[in-house]
With several copies, the nearest count.
Chain A
Protein backbone atom coordinates (compact mmCIF):
# COMPACT_ATOMS: atom_id res chain seq x y z
CA UNK A 1 0.00 0.00 0.00
CA UNK A 2 1.28 3.44 -0.96
CA UNK A 3 0.32 6.92 0.17
CA UNK A 4 1.83 10.28 -0.69
CA UNK A 5 0.48 13.04 1.50
CA UNK A 6 1.26 16.43 3.01
CA UNK A 7 -0.23 15.63 6.43
CA UNK A 8 1.48 13.74 9.23
CA UNK A 9 0.82 10.05 9.92
CA UNK A 10 0.26 7.97 13.07
CA UNK A 11 2.72 5.08 12.71
CA UNK A 12 1.08 3.00 15.43
CA UNK A 13 -2.38 3.24 13.84
CA UNK A 14 -0.96 2.57 10.37
CA UNK A 15 0.86 -0.55 11.56
CA UNK A 16 -2.23 -1.83 13.40
CA UNK A 17 -4.23 -1.30 10.22
CA UNK A 18 -1.61 -3.15 8.14
CA UNK A 19 -1.87 -6.30 10.27
CA UNK A 20 -5.55 -6.01 11.21
CA UNK A 21 -7.30 -9.37 11.17
CA UNK A 22 -4.23 -11.22 9.85
CA UNK A 23 -3.41 -14.02 12.30
CA UNK A 24 -0.41 -15.24 10.31
CA UNK A 25 1.70 -12.15 11.02
CA UNK A 26 4.47 -12.71 13.57
CA UNK A 27 6.12 -9.33 13.33
CA UNK A 28 6.28 -5.91 11.72
CA UNK A 29 9.48 -4.04 11.02
CA UNK A 30 9.05 -0.37 10.35
CA UNK A 31 11.28 2.56 9.60
CA UNK A 32 10.37 6.21 10.12
CA UNK A 33 12.56 8.90 8.56
CA UNK A 34 12.63 12.25 10.35
CA UNK A 35 13.77 15.78 9.48
CA UNK A 36 17.03 16.51 11.30
CA UNK A 37 17.96 19.98 12.45
CA UNK A 38 21.31 19.92 10.67
CA UNK A 39 22.17 19.72 7.00
CA UNK A 40 22.50 16.34 5.30
CA UNK A 41 25.60 17.52 3.43
CA UNK A 42 28.43 16.15 5.46
CA UNK A 43 30.82 19.00 4.75
CA UNK A 44 28.62 21.69 6.20
CA UNK A 45 26.44 20.14 8.92
CA UNK A 46 24.78 23.55 9.22
CA UNK A 47 21.57 24.11 11.16
CA UNK A 48 18.47 23.85 9.05
CA UNK A 49 15.16 25.46 9.90
CA UNK A 50 12.91 23.57 7.47
CA UNK A 51 12.91 21.25 4.48
CA UNK A 52 10.68 21.19 1.43
CA UNK A 53 9.98 17.94 -0.37
CA UNK A 54 9.11 18.07 -4.05
CA UNK A 55 8.11 15.05 -6.10
CA UNK A 56 6.99 13.80 -9.52
CA UNK A 57 3.57 12.42 -8.54
CA UNK A 58 2.75 9.84 -11.22
CA UNK A 59 6.31 8.50 -11.35
CA UNK A 60 6.54 8.34 -7.56
CA UNK A 61 3.51 6.11 -7.46
CA UNK A 62 4.82 3.92 -10.27
CA UNK A 63 8.26 3.54 -8.70
CA UNK A 64 6.98 2.82 -5.20
CA UNK A 65 4.58 0.19 -6.54
CA UNK A 66 7.50 -1.39 -8.38
CA UNK A 67 9.54 -1.49 -5.17
CA UNK A 68 6.66 -3.15 -3.28
CA UNK A 69 6.30 -5.72 -6.05
CA UNK A 70 10.03 -6.44 -6.02
CA UNK A 71 9.95 -6.97 -2.25
CA UNK A 72 6.95 -9.28 -2.53
CA UNK A 73 8.64 -11.30 -5.28
CA UNK A 74 11.80 -11.55 -3.23
CA UNK A 75 10.34 -12.44 0.17
CA UNK A 76 6.99 -13.99 -0.73
CA UNK A 77 4.12 -13.51 1.62
CA UNK A 78 4.55 -10.04 3.14
CA UNK A 79 2.34 -7.03 3.71
CA UNK A 80 3.95 -3.70 2.85
CA UNK A 81 3.14 -0.07 3.50
CA UNK A 82 4.93 3.05 2.26
CA UNK A 83 3.78 6.51 3.33
CA UNK A 84 5.84 9.49 2.13
CA UNK A 85 5.13 13.11 2.92
CA UNK A 86 5.72 16.05 0.59
CA UNK A 87 5.68 19.80 1.15
CA UNK A 88 7.35 21.88 3.84
CA UNK A 89 8.44 20.07 7.00
CA UNK A 90 10.23 21.29 10.11
CA UNK A 91 12.95 19.53 12.12
CA UNK A 92 11.74 16.42 14.00
CA UNK A 93 8.79 16.04 11.56
CA UNK A 94 8.13 12.56 10.18
CA UNK A 95 8.97 12.23 6.45
CA UNK A 96 8.50 8.59 5.57
CA UNK A 97 7.08 5.37 7.02
CA UNK A 98 7.99 1.99 5.60
CA UNK A 99 6.45 -1.05 7.30
CA UNK A 100 6.67 -4.72 6.42
CA UNK A 101 4.59 -7.39 8.16
CA UNK A 102 5.64 -11.03 7.83
CA UNK A 103 5.33 -14.39 9.54
CA UNK A 104 8.96 -14.18 10.76
CA UNK A 105 11.11 -11.29 11.93
CA UNK A 106 14.08 -11.78 9.58
CA UNK A 107 11.93 -11.30 6.51
CA UNK A 108 10.29 -8.21 8.04
CA UNK A 109 13.67 -6.62 8.85
CA UNK A 110 15.24 -7.43 5.47
CA UNK A 111 12.31 -6.40 3.31
CA UNK A 112 11.88 -3.10 5.20
CA UNK A 113 15.55 -2.28 4.72
CA UNK A 114 15.36 -3.24 1.05
CA UNK A 115 12.39 -0.94 0.48
CA UNK A 116 14.14 1.99 2.20
CA UNK A 117 17.39 1.42 0.30
CA UNK A 118 15.69 1.25 -3.11
CA UNK A 119 13.29 4.11 -2.33
CA UNK A 120 16.32 6.31 -1.59
CA UNK A 121 17.69 5.88 -5.13
CA UNK A 122 14.60 5.22 -7.29
CA UNK A 123 11.65 7.22 -5.97
CA UNK A 124 11.54 10.75 -7.46
CA UNK A 125 11.57 12.97 -4.38
CA UNK A 126 13.87 15.94 -3.86
CA UNK A 127 14.65 17.76 -0.63
CA UNK A 128 15.48 21.43 -0.34
CA UNK A 129 16.89 22.55 2.97
CA UNK A 130 16.30 26.00 4.41
CA UNK A 131 19.02 27.36 6.64
CA UNK A 132 19.01 30.61 8.61
CA UNK A 133 20.28 32.52 5.57
CA UNK A 134 20.12 30.36 2.46
CA UNK A 135 18.32 27.36 1.06
CA UNK A 136 19.76 24.61 -1.06
CA UNK A 137 18.91 21.31 -2.72
CA UNK A 138 20.20 18.26 -0.88
CA UNK A 139 22.74 16.28 -2.85
CA UNK A 140 22.36 12.54 -3.29
CA UNK A 141 24.79 10.48 -1.21
CA UNK A 142 27.19 8.05 -2.83
CA UNK A 143 26.66 5.76 0.17
CA UNK A 144 22.93 5.50 -0.64
CA UNK A 145 23.70 4.50 -4.21
CA UNK A 146 26.16 1.89 -2.95
CA UNK A 147 23.59 0.44 -0.52
CA UNK A 148 20.94 0.10 -3.22
CA UNK A 149 23.54 -1.57 -5.45
CA UNK A 150 24.25 -4.25 -2.86
CA UNK A 151 20.73 -5.66 -3.26
CA UNK A 152 21.40 -6.37 -6.95
CA UNK A 153 24.20 -8.80 -6.21
CA UNK A 154 22.27 -10.94 -3.74
Chain B
Protein backbone atom coordinates (compact mmCIF):
# COMPACT_ATOMS: atom_id res chain seq x y z
CA UNK B 1 0.00 0.00 0.00
CA UNK B 2 1.23 3.47 -0.90
CA UNK B 3 0.42 6.31 1.50
CA UNK B 4 0.66 10.00 0.58
CA UNK B 5 0.50 13.04 2.85
CA UNK B 6 -0.28 16.58 1.68
CA UNK B 7 -0.24 20.13 3.05
CA UNK B 8 -0.05 20.27 6.86
CA UNK B 9 -0.28 16.47 7.14
CA UNK B 10 2.95 16.27 5.15
CA UNK B 11 4.51 18.90 7.39
CA UNK B 12 3.42 17.28 10.65
CA UNK B 13 4.42 13.74 9.62
CA UNK B 14 7.57 15.07 7.88
CA UNK B 15 6.71 12.59 5.17
CA UNK B 16 5.37 13.01 1.63
CA UNK B 17 4.99 9.35 0.82
CA UNK B 18 5.65 5.88 2.20
CA UNK B 19 5.08 2.23 1.34
CA UNK B 20 3.39 0.18 4.01
CA UNK B 21 1.91 -3.31 4.18
CA UNK B 22 -1.63 -3.22 5.46
CA UNK B 23 -1.04 -3.63 9.22
CA UNK B 24 -2.51 -6.67 10.91
CA UNK B 25 -6.11 -6.05 11.91
CA UNK B 26 -6.53 -2.91 9.79
CA UNK B 27 -9.25 -3.20 7.13
CA UNK B 28 -10.60 0.36 6.74
CA UNK B 29 -9.34 3.92 6.41
CA UNK B 30 -10.42 4.61 10.01
CA UNK B 31 -8.33 1.65 11.19
CA UNK B 32 -5.31 2.90 9.25
CA UNK B 33 -5.68 6.39 10.72
CA UNK B 34 -5.78 4.92 14.22
CA UNK B 35 -2.67 2.84 13.43
CA UNK B 36 -0.78 5.90 12.10
CA UNK B 37 -1.78 8.03 15.06
CA UNK B 38 -0.38 5.39 17.41
CA UNK B 39 3.05 5.83 15.83
CA UNK B 40 3.25 8.89 18.08
CA UNK B 41 5.28 12.07 17.43
CA UNK B 42 4.33 13.97 14.29
CA UNK B 43 1.85 11.24 13.33
CA UNK B 44 0.00 11.56 16.65
CA UNK B 45 -0.15 15.30 16.01
CA UNK B 46 -1.29 14.95 12.38
CA UNK B 47 -4.10 12.53 13.21
CA UNK B 48 -5.03 14.01 16.62
CA UNK B 49 -8.36 15.33 15.29
CA UNK B 50 -9.58 12.99 12.58
CA UNK B 51 -12.43 15.35 11.67
CA UNK B 52 -9.83 17.69 10.10
CA UNK B 53 -8.43 14.98 7.82
CA UNK B 54 -9.77 14.07 4.38
CA UNK B 55 -8.95 10.83 2.59
CA UNK B 56 -8.71 9.58 -0.97
CA UNK B 57 -8.32 5.95 -1.95
CA UNK B 58 -7.07 5.42 -5.48
CA UNK B 59 -7.61 9.13 -6.11
CA UNK B 60 -11.30 9.16 -5.18
CA UNK B 61 -12.62 10.96 -2.12
CA UNK B 62 -13.88 8.40 0.43
CA UNK B 63 -15.33 8.19 3.93
CA UNK B 64 -13.22 6.74 6.72
CA UNK B 65 -15.35 3.58 6.64
CA UNK B 66 -13.92 2.77 3.19
CA UNK B 67 -12.26 -0.70 3.04
CA UNK B 68 -8.56 -1.01 2.19
CA UNK B 69 -6.37 -3.56 0.50
CA UNK B 70 -2.65 -3.80 -0.10
CA UNK B 71 -2.80 -2.52 -3.69
CA UNK B 72 -4.45 0.76 -2.72
CA UNK B 73 -2.99 4.25 -2.96
CA UNK B 74 -4.21 6.12 0.12
CA UNK B 75 -3.83 9.88 0.54
CA UNK B 76 -4.39 12.01 3.64
CA UNK B 77 -4.90 15.78 3.36
CA UNK B 78 -6.85 18.73 4.75
CA UNK B 79 -10.06 19.91 3.02
CA UNK B 80 -9.04 21.22 -0.40
CA UNK B 81 -8.60 24.96 -1.04
CA UNK B 82 -7.85 25.36 -4.74
CA UNK B 83 -9.46 27.59 -7.33
Contacts and interface: CB of A to CB of B under 8 A. Distances in A.
* A and B interact physically: yes
Contacts of B8: 137
B78 interface: yes
Nearest to A62: B59
A120 B82 contact: yes
A152 B61 CA distance: 16
B78 A137 contact: yes
Interface of chain A, helix or strand or loop or mixed? mixed
B80 A124 contact: yes
A139 B81 contact: yes
B5 to A, nearest CB: 10
B80 A123 contact: yes
A124 B77 CA distance: 8
Contacts of B79: 121, 139-140, 145
A33 interface: yes
6 contacts: A53-B82, A55-B82, A124-B6, A126-B77, A137-B8, A137-B81
